[in-house]
Amino acid sequence: MPLQNRVDPFGNIHAVADRGACLGNRGILHDDHRHLIHYHRHQAWIICRLEFKGRQRTVMTPNAYTELFFLDEATALAAGHRPCAECNRPRYNEFKRLWQQAHPHSRDAIDTVLHRARFVPRQRDWRQKKRTYTARLDDLPDGAFVTLAASDEAIPFLVLAEALYPWHFDGYGHPSPRPTDQVVTVLTPEPTVRILAAGYRPDIHPVSPHK
């Protein structure tokens, strides 16, 4: 039985067999039986490397942080995470550099700003915890995630060049042409979209070629 530790672009945590290319952390979310009981425990939602200095971990060890997994870095950014300053230091430094460029007047910490932008507090249904916004698809940078219909069954799409790629736990489906003059629901937090627009290039799982 897979553990509930795989994150989608909405930020929701699922029990699926696929692991993905990125590790993440939002604090200790599980109990002693490795059951998920929290959505997050702090504001530092980070993206980590799967391997770092030979460290070995048993997934969901009691009283240790809950290992979360993402298909790729773009998915983790959409879920509201940012690079870890320890194991992912070069990526963090680049993210921070572009953050300062894209948010020159911000006085708040990165995690504080991201938490406001990604999370709707006091929602009992986890599907309602994701904070989104609307934007013109033409204005969005590569690496952002969107949906074309704001509903519980909405499909997340990766924006990449002139196409939209449907997201799945095991990879991306065949692309469709990127519509023009269309307003969409954006899943990637707005402050992170600014980072992407400033030049941050997230790692992306290999995509399927155009049909």
State the Cα–Cα distance between residues 90 and 93, nearest whole angstrom: 5
- Average confidence score pLDDT of the chain: 92
Confidence of residue 48 (pLDDT cuts 50, 70, 90): very high
**Is pLDDT larger for residue 135 or for residue 19?**
135
Tokens of 35: 């059951």
Tokens of 159: 């924006």
Domain boundaries, the chain: 4-198
| Residue 150 pLDDT exceeds 70 | no
Q: Per mean pLDDT, which of 11-20, 64-73, 145-154 is the most reliable?
A: 64-73
| Residue 211 pLDDT exceeds 50 | no
Give the angle subtended at the CA of 103 by the CAs of 9 and 46, to the nearest 5°: 40
Q: Do 164 and 178 contact (CB within 8 A), yes or no? A: yes
Provide the pLDDT for residue 187: 96
Please state, in angstroms and as integers, the Cα–Cα distance from residue 64 to each residue in 112, 153, 172, 194, following that order: 23, 33, 32, 33
Mean per-residue pLDDT, 195-209: 92
Per cent of the chain over pLDDT 90 is: 81
| Predicted TM-score of the model (pTM) | 0.94
Provide the pLDDT for residue 57: 82
Provide the pLDDT for residue 28: 97
Lowest-pLDDT range, 34-38, 49-53, 206-210?
A: 206-210
| Residue 192 pLDDT exceeds 60 | yes
Confidence of residue 55 (pLDDT cuts 50, 70, 90): confident
Residues 6+ apart with CB under 8 A from 57: 64, 67
